[in-house]
Chain A
Amino acid sequence: MSLRKLQVQYITGAHRRLRRMGIYIHVPFCAKKCAYCDFYSLTDDASMDAYVKALCVDFRRSRTDLAGASVDTVYFGGGTPGLLGHKRLAQLLKKLRSNFEITADAEITLETNPATLTGEDYAKLVRAGFNRISFGVQSLDDGELATLGRIHTSEDARAAVKAARTAGFQNISIDIMFGLPGQSEESLGRTLSEAIALEPEHISFYGLKIEEGTPFHEMRDKLDLPDEDLYAKLYLLGAEKLTSAGYSHYEISNFAKPGLESRHNLRYWKLNEYIGFGPAAHSYLNNTRYGITRDLNGYISAVTAGQLPERSESEPVEPEAQLREYIMMSLRLSTGINRMVYEARFGRSFEKPEEFFRRISRGGLCVPTDNGWRLTAKGFLISNTIIVKLLQYLDE
């Protein structure tokens, strides 16, 4: 086998004999819906136990899907998974271990709200095996938090991070948002400085997007949203501040201390397989992407009755689409698009992408890597446009 081929296999993960897998569990409960959020979640917590039971049935049923695969990432997302409480969470994790082969070094993440759990809860979760926690901090400015409709204060956020640390979490992530109504460079700068001072291992730095069907969408004309130029400034300011503080900008919206990138999320961006449980969860298995219908009761009754939960969508990903997905996702990452993957995995010449990136590099939108190209922060800002242009150029 040629060295080149080996390199490619290494990059694509094909050298591993074992099938690696990630598990996502959607927890559709929140104490209160936030004004901007369009994730599937309900504020009625009466069916929590029934849901946990259904998930356990679903795990069991899915054993054959994951036969022979070893699971090295588990992610409880939501919603507010922390709302389930440490007992239910520990039970779910136990069930996962009994049904699937979870590796000893697996990254097991819990998302939660800073105001939901106590120090004791965190300690119990660590003991149950959770080793990564992700807090939806969003801002450390109380005015901004109120606008967003969050239930926590900046003080709650600081306390939560410290409590989780004390309880033994060694991998803590916090979400920070920019482009908020009324947000200025100063207020974002303050939030980021304070966030850095909390020394989380990972920071997700998201731009606010006004989603249809949310209260923010209803009142979008009255929101004091930043214009295009300010939005770009806020993003670049954040990227600069976090990078200077030692975080690597490894994905458009994600920053991490070296080696502490979110392994689970990287699965998505590297087009690796994952299986999702629960309503609104998505899976990518055997070259098919599918999603479960956003209906908690429908999910519970189907699974409990021994049936497959209803799918809202299901789509085989043909090789041509895999190439498009690769372009789309690889350009979100600081590793960028790789010539060898492009040529070996998709059997395409890299000539056109090479020419394309060389042409746009003069505007500072991308820079060459050892074996391809990656977007700069300025390029990330208009990555959709760049991707569309590239796809269009490849079509010509």
Chain B
Amino acid sequence: MSLSLKDINSIRNFCIIAHIDHGKSTLADRLLAHCNAVSAREMQDQILDNMELEKERGITIKARACRLNYTAEDGKTYELNLIDTPGHVDFHYEVSRSLAACEGAILVVDATQGIEAQTLANTYLAIESDLEVLPVINKIDLLSADPDRVKHEIEDIIGIPAEDAPCISAKRDINIDAVLETIVKGVPAPKGDPDKPLRALIFDSQYDNYRGVVIHLRVMDGRISAGTRIRMMATGAEFSVVEVGHLTALGIAPCAELLPGEVGYLTAAIKNVSDSRVGDTVTYAEGGAEEPLPGYRAAQPMVYSGLYTSDTTRYPDLRDALEKLVLNDASLTFEPESSAALGFGFRCGFLGLLHMEVIQERIEREFNLDLITTAPSVVYKVKTTGNDEVFIDNPLNWPDPGTIEYAEEPYVNANIIVPSEYVGNIMEICQDRRGIYKDLRYLDATRVELHYELPLNEIIYDFFDTLKSRTRGYASLDYEFLGYRRSSLVKLDILLNGDIVDALSFIVHSEKAYAKARKMAEKLKAHIPRQMFEIPVQAAVGNKVIARETVKAMRKDVLAKCYGGDITRKKKLLEKQKEGKKRMRSFGSVEVPQEAFMAVLKLDSEE
């Protein structure tokens, strides 16, 4: 069954943009139900977010797509392709590629809360990608809903008409058909030429044990069917297509051919997910397109951290886990590293902090591993006196200060939206984090948008948590990479009992070294239990100790009597304690519980 050019006019490719909790996933489920994409029996909440973690956190981590058939009021049946996008700043690039596969975007705004930073960021991204942005006001069933105010806000702030925006409640199934009609009428039909050389945009891929890599793509020009020889334009890899088809709510549906405007998948016995990079263009192996589709860029990790198993014998399991995860996540990088303190582990690169947390949580849950993670680090650029330029993603590799000509650190453009009463708090936090104030604008009488340039290393620890706690949860944040800037940076080492614990070293701005050192020493002191001896905890820059605390020696255990009946019990108790101590890391002769590690990662959070 092939598509005639007339049929292309019945295709609508769209995505949904929303802030966390504004109801994107619920709306997606409603659209599926209204188009009978899933039977009542199959309908479970939030089909599209099917990773357990996604459901729990209420966020979409991986993009997903789904084809819906909708018979509109005009009597015609339309093919609607919903491309679900990740909703977090870490996945900025992935979002941009998903948007590039669409002609329109549904902008879901909470009728009680209005526009938030992420909504704004993704909306601008959609507008930049020439998408038709169609607002929808959700949660009108709530008492505090104020759809008119929110509509005005959309018009004032984003500058798109919102007068006719459907007012709906995805949760209560109110007015969902109006959304479908808006999609049919408002999202432009795709354009494309089946006779031109193939150009298809990869917006996602997944690994399947039987099929290999399943590439999710949007065809712009040309046609693909089984047997087509294809080439990935960025990597140059070539394959023969085994199968093509559509993506449905519950899986995939093979078909004969994919034509311009269509969203679907292909398989080609691809073993390695790195051969199908998000944003790359698929073309014919012979007689292919001259120019790839614009916007491709190799995934660039922004944050690095060392991952170790708390049980050192499980190192091979961690390797397995990472290998399985990268099959579906080309933006995750890892390579072996070793630490004197922690043994063998992996240096992993992540798109951002959320990405890091998600990966860590998935490893712990899905692979049942207990992890120890080292402090996250950004990638620094160091110019050496030998005129070399080196990128440092691990404090361990920080060059000797004598050989550093100058160092640079990454900066981001941060965009924060808060109720105006918290502006003072936000400015204080940003200043404290070496932020450079750019501008401030009132979105309405009560809400303010702030722009700051911030060093990335100041926000990777707990910036977002701090923002939330200082604004009673009202602040929203978005950021994007700005560039490298020169900075006065030093490496801070932590010494326990006189020995450097390599896994606790980190890079810090020289002006903040004292404060950080003091906090770090205090935290460690608080979290390291008393041991047989007094343990000095020191923080040092180079050879200079700049903070010191002491973990006092333990004075006593329980001096229980031990007679005939107590021996077995006592033996078991000591065995248990011994096992318990295995979960601590011994650095030299000092035992450090895992919580101590975690605590120093959250240095600035208020406890």
Contact of B570 among A228, A276, A328, A381 (CB under 8 A): A328
Q: Could you say which interface size class chain A belongs to?
A: 35 or more
B39 contacts A by Cβ under 8 Å: no
Contact of B565 among A232, A269, A291, A325 (CB under 8 A): A291
A209 contacts B by Cβ under 8 Å: yes
Q: Which residue of A lies closest to B570 (CB)?
A: A328
Contact B532 A389 (CB under 8 A): yes
Can you show 11 pairs from A to B with CB atoms below 8 A apart? A206-B561, A228-B554, A228-B556, A231-B555, A232-B556, A282-B567, A313-B568, A321-B571, A324-B571, A363-B553, A384-B557
A383 with B557, Cβ < 8 A, contacts A324-B571, A328-B571 known: yes
Which residues of the partner chain B approach A276 to less than 8 Å between Cβ atoms? Answer: 564-565
Among residues 550 to 607 in chain B, which have CB atoms less than 8 Å away from a CB atom of chain A? 553-565, 567-568, 570-571, 574-575, 577-578, 581-582, 589
A328 with B581, Cβ < 8 A, contacts A253-B559, A313-B568, A389-B532 known: no
A370 contacts B by Cβ under 8 Å: no
A247 contacts B by Cβ under 8 Å: no
Which residues of the partner chain A approach B124 to less than 8 Å between Cβ atoms? Answer: none
Which residues of the partner chain B approach A313 to less than 8 Å between Cβ atoms? Answer: 568
Which residues of the partner chain B approach A388 to less than 8 Å between Cβ atoms? Answer: 574, 577-578, 581
Contact B574 A206 (CB under 8 A): no
A282 with B565, Cβ < 8 A, contacts A363-B533, A381-B559, A383-B557 known: yes
Which residues of the partner chain B approach A328 to less than 8 Å between Cβ atoms? Answer: 567, 570-571, 574
Contact of B567 among A235, A289, A384, A386 (CB under 8 A): A289
Contact of A381 among B555, B562, B589 (CB under 8 A): B555
Contact of A395 among B554, B557, B574, B578 (CB under 8 A): B578
Which residues of the partner chain B approach A291 to less than 8 Å between Cβ atoms? Answer: 565, 568
* Min C-beta distance of B8 to chain A, whole Å: 69
Q: Which residue of B lies closest to A280 (CB)?
A: B565
* Min C-beta distance of B260 to chain A, whole Å: 65
A252 contacts B by Cβ under 8 Å: yes
Contact B564 A282 (CB under 8 A): yes
Among residues 242 to 295 in chain A, which have CB atoms less than 8 Å away from a CB atom of chain B? 252-253, 265, 268-269, 274, 276, 280-284, 289, 291
Contact B578 A235 (CB under 8 A): no
A359 with B555, Cβ < 8 A, contacts A282-B564, A324-B571, A332-B562 known: no
Contact B582 A381 (CB under 8 A): no
CA distance A393 to B565 in the complex (A): 27
* Min C-beta distance of A68 to chain B, whole Å: 22
Contact B559 A392 (CB under 8 A): no
Contact B559 A268 (CB under 8 A): no
Q: Which residue of A lies closest to B568 (CB)?
A: A289
Contact B555 A228 (CB under 8 A): yes
Contact of B571 among A204, A207, A209, A325 (CB under 8 A): A325
Residues of A within 8 A of B (CB): 24, 77, 204, 206-207, 209, 228-229, 231-232, 235, 252-253, 265, 268-269, 274, 276, 280-284, 289, 291, 313, 315, 321, 324-325, 328-329, 332, 359-360, 363, 365, 380-389, 391-392, 395
Which residues of the partner chain A approach B532 to less than 8 Å between Cβ atoms? Answer: 360, 363, 365, 382, 385-386, 389
Q: Which residue of A lies closest to B565 (CB)?
A: A282
Q: Could you say which interface size class chain B belongs to?
A: 20 to 34
A-B contact count, CB below 8 Å?
Answer: 105
CA distance A388 to B531 in the complex (A): 12
CA distance A383 to B574 in the complex (A): 11
CA distance A324 to B573 in the complex (A): 12
Which residues of the partner chain B approach A206 to less than 8 Å between Cβ atoms? Answer: 559, 561
Contact A387 B554 (CB under 8 A): no
CA distance A344 to B225 in the complex (A): 78
Residues of B within 8 A of A (CB): 531-533, 553-565, 567-568, 570-571, 574-575, 577-578, 581-582, 589
Which residues of the partner chain A approach B558 to less than 8 Å between Cβ atoms? Answer: 207, 209, 384
Q: Which residue of B lies closest to A360 (CB)?
A: B532
Q: Which residue of A lies closest to B557 (CB)?
A: A384
Contact of A268 among B553, B564, B575, B578 (CB under 8 A): B564
Which residues of the partner chain B approach A392 to less than 8 Å between Cβ atoms? Answer: 578, 581-582
* Min C-beta distance of A295 to chain B, whole Å: 15
Given contacts A387-B574, A395-B578, 8 further A-B contacts (CB under 8 A): A265-B563, A276-B564, A291-B565, A328-B570, A381-B557, A384-B558, A384-B577, A391-B578
Q: Which residue of A lies closest to B558 (CB)?
A: A209
Contact of B556 among A24, A253, A382 (CB under 8 A): A382
CA distance A235 to B558 in the complex (A): 11
Most chain-A Cβ atoms within 10 A of its Cβ — which of B531, B533, B561?
B561
CA distance A56 to B17 in the complex (A): 86
* Min C-beta distance of B83 to chain A, whole Å: 54
CA distance A268 to B578 in the complex (A): 23
* Min C-beta distance of A189 to chain B, whole Å: 19
CA distance A24 to B531 in the complex (A): 38
Q: Which residue of B lies closest to A363 (CB)?
A: B533
* Min C-beta distance of B198 to chain A, whole Å: 61
CA distance A329 to B570 in the complex (A): 10
Which residues of the partner chain A approach B561 to less than 8 Å between Cβ atoms? Answer: 204, 206, 253
Identify the 4 closest CB pairs spanning chains A and B, nearest first.
A232-B555, A384-B557, A282-B565, A207-B559
* Min C-beta distance of A227 to chain B, whole Å: 9
CA distance A291 to B558 in the complex (A): 23
CA distance A381 to B557 in the complex (A): 6
CA distance A3 to B146 in the complex (A): 97
CA distance A269 to B567 in the complex (A): 9
* Min C-beta distance of B132 to chain A, whole Å: 66
A384 with B574, Cβ < 8 A, contacts A206-B559, A231-B556, A363-B532 known: yes
Which residues of the partner chain A approach B563 to less than 8 Å between Cβ atoms? Answer: 77, 265, 268
Contact A268 B562 (CB under 8 A): yes
Contact A329 B578 (CB under 8 A): no
Which residues of the partner chain A approach B581 to less than 8 Å between Cβ atoms? Answer: 388-389, 392
Which residues of the partner chain B approach A385 to less than 8 Å between Cβ atoms? Answer: 531-532, 554, 557
CA distance A276 to B567 in the complex (A): 14
Which residues of the partner chain B approach A391 to less than 8 Å between Cβ atoms? Answer: 574-575, 578
Which residues of the partner chain B approach A204 to less than 8 Å between Cβ atoms? Answer: 561
Which residues of the partner chain A approach B556 to less than 8 Å between Cβ atoms? Answer: 228, 231-232, 235, 381-382
CA distance A308 to B574 in the complex (A): 31
CA distance A380 to B570 in the complex (A): 15
CA distance A363 to B589 in the complex (A): 13
A281 with B565, Cβ < 8 A, contacts A321-B571, A386-B532 known: yes
Q: Which residue of B lies closest to A332 (CB)?
A: B562
Which residues of the partner chain A approach B574 to less than 8 Å between Cβ atoms? Answer: 324, 328, 384, 387-388, 391
* Min C-beta distance of A337 to chain B, whole Å: 15
CA distance A125 to B555 in the complex (A): 43
Contact of B560 among A209, A274, A281, A363 (CB under 8 A): A209
* Min C-beta distance of A380 to chain B, whole Å: 7
CA distance A209 to B562 in the complex (A): 12
CA distance A378 to B267 in the complex (A): 71
CA distance A363 to B554 in the complex (A): 11
* Min C-beta distance of A292 to chain B, whole Å: 10
Most chain-A Cβ atoms within 10 A of its Cβ — which of B531, B555, B564?
B564
Q: Which residue of A lies closest to B564 (CB)?
A: A282
* Min C-beta distance of B552 to chain A, whole Å: 9
A382 with B578, Cβ < 8 A, contacts A269-B562, A329-B567 known: no
CA distance A228 to B530 in the complex (A): 11
Which residues of the partner chain A approach B571 to less than 8 Å between Cβ atoms? Answer: 321, 324-325, 328
